[in-house]
Amino acid sequence: MAQGCPITGLEVALTDLQSSRNNVRHRTEEISVDRLVVRRGQAFSITLYFKNRGFQPGMDSIIFVTETGPLPDLAKGTRAVFSLTGSGGPSPWIASLEANRATSLEVSLCAPPMAAVGRYLLKIRIDSYQGSVTAYQLGEFILLFNPWCPGDAVYLDSEPQRQEYVMNDYGFIYQGSKSWILPCPWNYGQFEENIIDICLELLEKSLNFQVDPSTDCALRGSPVYTSRVVCAMINSNDDNGVLNGNWSENYLDGANPAEWTGSVAILKQWHATGCQPVRYGQCWVFAAVMCTVLRCLGIPTRVITNFDSGHDTDGNLIIDEYYDNSGRILENMKKDTVWNYHVWNECWMARKDLPPGYGGWQVLDATPQETSNGLYCCGPASVKAIKEGEVDLNYDTRFAFSMVNADCVSWLVYGGKEQKLHRDTATVGNFISTKSIQSDERDDITESYKYEEGSLQERQVFLKALQKLKSVRSQGPHQGDVNPFSSVPPRQDSSGSLDTPSLRPSDVIQVALKFELLDPPNMGQDINFVLLAVNMSPQFKDLKLNLSAQSLLHDGSPLAPFWQDVAFITLFPQEEKTYPCKILYSQYSQYLSTDKLIRISALGEEKSSPEKILVNKIITLTFPGIVINVLGAAFVNQPLTVQVVFSNPLSEPVEDCVLTLEGSGLFKKQQRVLIGVLKPHHKASITLKTVPFKSGQRQIQANLRSNKFKDIKGYRNVYVDIGL
């Protein structure tokens, strides 16, 4: 027997998870440089330092163990055991030797591209010569989805798209109306401090985890499953989700949804209060927060706005709207609604659970409208399936289809009876919008959701969807009247006009009505407009028109009318006349909702005909925005001066003015500046300093609120240089 020191068991003295180096390679360095955060399907390196000697391949056997969740299980894939030599069994996890030095070992580890995402423990077992066995806990790491990995279900093969839909931490959410589309700047902040921990906490607060944590963790390898869990957790209808929805206009015990400018403050408040739902959100806030969470987890996500969005409660693809004889919308009759705009998310993923061809962008809607399998979530529904009318495919494709492609039927209610006014096939689903890739422009993606309005294909898809629904449910109200080929021809002006001209030359009365604004509708000023009436018949016409105006919430809910008028117009054959109208600021100021939407309507009748004519227009009142000036060049860790210029647009003083500013990589937390009182039409500015802590393209978002208005917005893009 050879003389000398006996060979001792191999002992680990220190482990270097190489967090900084690995995180740069895995594009997670903005999340952290101190903690290991890696993406599945991509290798990462660790270094093991030994106490007494180096690793000897023939004598030492190293086995790695990874575990996630409270009950790690080999069979479920939440525990993996795999050896350095690759002979440790059937595990899809891989460990390979990179460098064997005198007293250290560099090893490459790789999670399979379908591994569950979440927080992992990394352990090691060393079997040495003469049977000595040692086990160590090496540390923790976080595993994310990987859109750069072709084997991952969220793989996206365009680098500009990955940069926009995973890495970009700011964007725009489109609001207003289809004739006045307003970009609202938003700070997603998915890489801000602690956001990754809050996102993982959100998964663990879900009902799925509470009921069966072992299965929930195992299913987190699926983006379909994970996105659905996140969708249910963004609202608080079933659980201690992130946001309470509120459409009441009463926000005294919370924040008006219009005041938010980013997701970070919302998520941090939810976490800090022991996961109590944050008050309050509406559709764009739900969608923005969900975008933050899913981008943080590595699922490509974008925020979508649909103007004139249908909410079909009875599943017949018909939105029924009820009016009284003054042209006023009757809220108490409305079960279905047309939202002035509605905001949801699209996430990019393969859909192995659907027939081929339905992967790609999927609709997810966290706004609590209808339940899905018992929970308030919606989706993922394939955008391709929506376009093709495949409303029976999972999940919630029927509801998503009705948001963009339901028909709208107007009813006149009088004397306890309902009279059908008209059917419009083109009202619902217009100017479907999202932020462009690597630009501040708006992309119109309507054609990805539906064929051109009025085309034969669009009607065929509608009929197909209707047929599929009829086979699974009984007829709902007014279902007998669902001939999609209605007597109303398709609108010729659906591309740009906000009016809903109910009667075309082929209609009985042969009179066309249209509202036209005479001036831009600026907040604080009177609204001047005309009602245009055109007689397209060879007969004399004697019209009586009831006009009204009422504020509107963006979800289509009307408030009480605050202005009414009656017009009598006589028209000779082929004659055109205008009837001038004015709504004073003093008439509308007390009745305006946060959404600043006013709906003007006219319901007309002609003496010789029982038919009615309805026309309406939605006006979005506008504010002058906040101007942000960056004084000088921006460098990391160098003071930067920011000037914010704002004004009171009203001819009356406003009180309780508060200015908020935020911006990922520029401000460590949201800045709040108490302004107090602003005199009528007074312009003011403040200057503040900040120290940017991240380089690259950044954005400052600002909001000014007062007792009279809640959401005067502004933004400024800033490029931050690394400097010396």
Catalogue the active-site residues: 283, 342, 365
Sheet arrangement for strand 612-620: 558-571, 541-552, 597-606, 612-620
3-state secondary structure (DSSP) of residue 218: helix
Q: Which two tokens stand for residue 402?
A: 């009705």
> Which SS3 state, helix, strand or coil, does residue 32 take?
coil
Backbone phi and psi for residue 52, each to the nearest 5 degrees, phi listed first: -110, -25
At 692, list the tokens.
């940017």
Q: How would you class 479 by CB atoms within 10 Å of its CB: exposed for 0-12, middle for 13-18, buried for 19 or more?
A: middle
Contact, 525 vs 587, CB < 8 A? no
Cβ–Cβ < 8 Å for 317, 281? no
Is residue 410 within 8 Å of residue 502, measured between CB atoms?
Answer: yes
Q: Give a three-class secondary structure readout of 171-213.
A: EEEEEEECCEEEEEEEECCCCCCCHHHHHHHHHHCCHHHHHCH
The token pair at 146 is: 């990987």
Instruction: Give the rounded distance of the alpha carbon of 263 from its chain centre.
Output: 11
Residue 682 CA to residue 686 CA, distance in Å, equals: 13
Sign of the CA dihedral with 704 first, then 707, 710, and 712 last: negative
From residue 220, give the alpha-carbon distance in Å to each of 63, 116, 145, 226, 527: 25, 5, 10, 6, 53
Amino acid symbol at 562: F
Residues contacting residue 113 through CB under 8 Å, at least 6 positions apart: 40, 41, 146, 149, 151, 152, 153
Q: SS3 for 402-426, per residue?
A: HHHHCEEEEEEEECCEEEEEEEECC
Q: Is residue 664 classed exposed, middle or buried when 0-12, 13-18 and 19+ CB atoms within 10 A define those classes?
A: buried
* DSSP 8-state code for residue 228: H
Residues 6+ apart with CB under 8 A from 444: 431, 432, 433
Q: How far apart are the first and last CA of the chain?
A: 63
